[in-house]
Amino acid sequence: MAAAKPNKASSLPQAPASLRRQPSQARAQQTMQTLFKAAAQILDKEGEAGLTTNKVAAAAGFSIGTLYQYFPSKEVLVQAMAAKGQGMVLQELGRYLSELENLPDVRALDGRELLGKAIRILVRGFATGKGLSQSLIHLCWTLEKPEETASAVRQVADRLAVFFERIDHPALQTPSTAQMFVLTRSVIGTLRSASLEKSPLLGSPAFEQALTQMAWALLARPEAHQAAGLALGARPIK
């Protein structure tokens, strides 16, 4: 059964519904970016216990009333930052996959390496930090809303499903709906656990390699597995 196609909605997560003001103007967007930056700096310096709305407003140079026009609580502020971070990950993944889809020789590229680079984007975005610091990502996972996480994971799955179908790589099969579900939930779930546990594995090559190996085991065509086994068997035993 072929993987489900993505809907036509935007791939970017929507702003949390609990925002008091929806930032539609450039000035409002700039205000939010300044508040985000201040919150991230406080979190990196003082940890989660030191992050308060009063400190964020002061560090950003705004009154607490201005902050509350956008974010009624610290939790809503962090959730808005998480939504922005998810959007950044999805955009980077989309750019990478689009570049590959437009390569005339994409079918000649190493399938395992293609998976590895996609995994690396997800690791940096959801665990080790890409645009967001590890401490902020950890707090975002602590305060996560399951429905928003599920939405982001579905968007990752939908985009990957389209990618595999378009490139028709000789070593990578077009995954079924079940295979894509298992793959994306396994990867994102692992990243969530590693971030919440502050695992020392984060950022290590072994961590990314394990995730890539899992993806390869699930998505490689049977003949690719067989070829890899034959190549491994041909190596001399040391």
pLDDT value of residue 3: 44
Q: What is the pLDDT of the chain when averaged over all its residues?
A: 86
Cα 216–221–223 angle (5° rounding)?
A: 120
What pLDDT, on a 0 to 100 scale, did the predictor assign at position 2? 44
Q: What is the DSSP letter of 73?
A: S
pTM score, two decimals? 0.81
3-class secondary-structure state, position 172: strand
Q: Answer for the pair 207, 149: CB distance below 8 angstroms, yes or no.
A: no
pLDDT of the residue at 130: 67
What is the per-residue pLDDT across 214-224, written as a single tens digit (0 to 9) for each? 999 999 999 87
pLDDT in tens, 37-93: 999 999 989 988 899 999 999 999 999 999 999 999 999 999 999 888 889 999 999
**Residue 189: other Cβ atoms inside 10 A:** 12
Query: What is the distance in angstroms between the CA of the first residue and the CA of the last residue of the chain?
Result: 43
pLDDT given at position 70: 93
The most distant pair of C-alpha atoms in the chain lies apart, rounded to whole Å, by 70
Whether pLDDT at 131 is above 90? no
Q: How far is CA 134 from the centre of its chain?
A: 13
228 confidence band (pLDDT: 50, 70, 90): low
Q: How far apart are CA 62 and CA 95, in angstroms?
A: 35
- Spatial separation of the C-alpha atoms in residues 19 and 70, rounded to whole Å: 6
More confident residue, 8 or 132: 132
